[in-house]
Amino acid sequence: MRIDPTVVGRGADATVYACGPDRVAKVFHTHADNPAIDREAENTRLALACGLPVPRIYEVTTWDGQPAIIMDRVSGQSLILALLSGAASVESVGAEMATLHFSIHKNRIDTGLTSLTDWLEARIRRAPDLRPEEIDRLLALLAAQETGNRFCHNDFHPDNILRTPGGDVVIDWCDATAGNPWADVARTMLVFESRALPPDTPSETGHAMNAAREAVGAAYVARYRTLAGVDELPIQGWRVLVAASRLWLALPGETGVNRKIVRRFLDGGQG
């Protein structure tokens, strides 16, 4: 296998290199036996089998001692870049995201994916600075939610959606789960509330991204409500749970928002 040293994408967990004219190698910054690598490949294959717009996976391999996934090369720009370049409006990006997200959530999946409830529970139990009785309250809230069995991306945001001539393509399926789609919606809504940015984001770009979040989120909510036929998104409990599940990551620009949501619930508010 020949991997071109040309970088075509870079993220916190991996660097994407050219691999021939129509494929790329997503090379991870981790050890080769990390089960998350195989999970991402398998989750993406499951998404493709459901007819979802994702890159085709060819193999999981290693390159220079690092694990890598060989997949289709997707020629296009992310929705966030389309927004920042003026190629798309905040309203169109929000509506586009909601339409795509809703199409993912139409898919029932009973085998092959981690349960979203189990996924959240494992991460809530790892939350720092929470007393055992507070974790118990959060887990009781989780137990009270309707489980569901829909395909959930679990990291659905504008930087994981690529515009191509053939339509939008969704990437980064490592955290995909089977569960209640309202939890997945809550996860995306928290992206719009946070101020977390991709690594090495220039200051000016970061300011522009943060300024657009609220407007994109409002357009997303309006479109998803219409598609789902609801007046309000029933995500209040899920919002608390998703925020709690992300506390252990301690991400700059995000943890403060998540901590406030969780603390408000624990102090008797609604999150």
The whole-number average pLDDT for the span 132-147 is 98
Q: Give 42-89 pLDDT, tens digit per residue.
A: 999 999 999 999 999 999 998 888 899 999 999 999 998 899 899 999
Per-residue pLDDT for 125 more than 60? yes
Domain boundaries, the chain: 7-72, 77-266
Cβ proximity of 86 and 93 under 8 Å = no
Per-residue pLDDT for 5 more than 80? no
pLDDT for residue 268: 87
Number of H helices, E strands in the chain: 9, 11
Q: Give 185-228 pLDDT, tens digit per residue.
A: 999 999 998 866 555 665 666 566 677 888 999 999 999 999 99
**Inter-axis angle of helices 132-143 and 116-124, to 10 degrees?**
170
Classify domain 7-72 at the CATH superfamily level.
Phosphorylase Kinase; domain 1 (3.30.200.20)
* 16: β partners: 9, 26
Please report where in the chains the tokens 């393509």 appear, as a residue: 169
pLDDT for residue 252: 81
Q: Give 143-177 pLDDT, tens digit per residue.
A: 999 999 999 999 999 999 999 999 999 999 999 99
Cβ proximity of 245 and 130 under 8 Å = no
Share of the chain above pLDDT 90, in %: 74
* 72: β partners: 23
Tell me the average pLDDT of the chain: 91
Q: Give 91-121 pLDDT, tens digit per residue.
A: 999 999 999 999 999 999 999 999 999 999 9
Phi, psi of 61 (to 5 degrees): -145, -165
**CA distance readout (Å), 171 to 7, 71, 96, 228:** 17, 11, 15, 24
Per-residue pLDDT for 32 more than 80? no
Please provide the DSSP assignment of 222-251 as one string.
HHHHHHHT-SS---HHHHHHHHHHTGGG--
Q: Give 228-253 pLDDT, tens digit per residue.
A: 999 999 999 999 999 999 999 988 87
User: 77-266 adopts what CATH topology?
Assistant: Aminoglycoside 3'-phosphotransferase; Chain: A, domain 2 (3.90.1200)
pLDDT for residue 197: 58
